[in-house]
Amino acid sequence: MLVLAVGAVAGLRQLHRLTAVRAQPLLAGPFLSGGTPDEHALSRFHARWYALTLLFLAFDVEMLFMYPWAVVVAKMGAAAVAEMFVFLGLLMCGVLYAWREGTLRWA
């Protein structure tokens, strides 16, 4: 079974080498609307973008929890509404922290 698995992997790898558009894809530049890129694809971003990204992910997670909540809120009643306000309050604390740290300033 091991010989069969190794043979299958080696065969697929050889097939890829034979049918690839370019034998060495790392020598080709990345696609950037037809132009050459100004910087390397693995260049570093400024640290302020990480906090903004975390804020964006927090709102994505908020939507992830709000869709199922919207389905059951009528059945659960006021307790579900109170729990959602607590959840939104915690998220608002994160927004206020990001605002205080200057994450939302673009200059």
pLDDT confidence of residue 3: 96
Convert the pLDDT of each residue in 2-55 to its tens digit.
999 999 999 999 998 888 776 555 555 556 666 666 776 677 777 777 778 888
pTM: 0.50
Task: Examine the pLDDT at 59 and tell me if it is beyond 90.
Answer: no
CA 27, CA 11: separation in Å to the nearest integer? 24
pLDDT confidence of residue 62: 83
For tokens 């994160």, name the residue: 94
pLDDT confidence of residue 24: 57
Task: Examine the pLDDT at 90 and tell me if it is beyond 80.
Answer: yes
- DSSP string across the chain: -HHHHHHHHHHHHHHHHHH-S-S-GGGSPPPBTTBPPSS-TTPPPPTHHHHHHHHHHHHHHHHHHHHHHHHHHHHHTHHHHHHHHHHHHHHHHHHHHHHHHTTT---
What number of residues does the chain have? 107
Of 46 and 90, the one with more pLDDT: 90
For tokens 């709102």, name the residue: 59
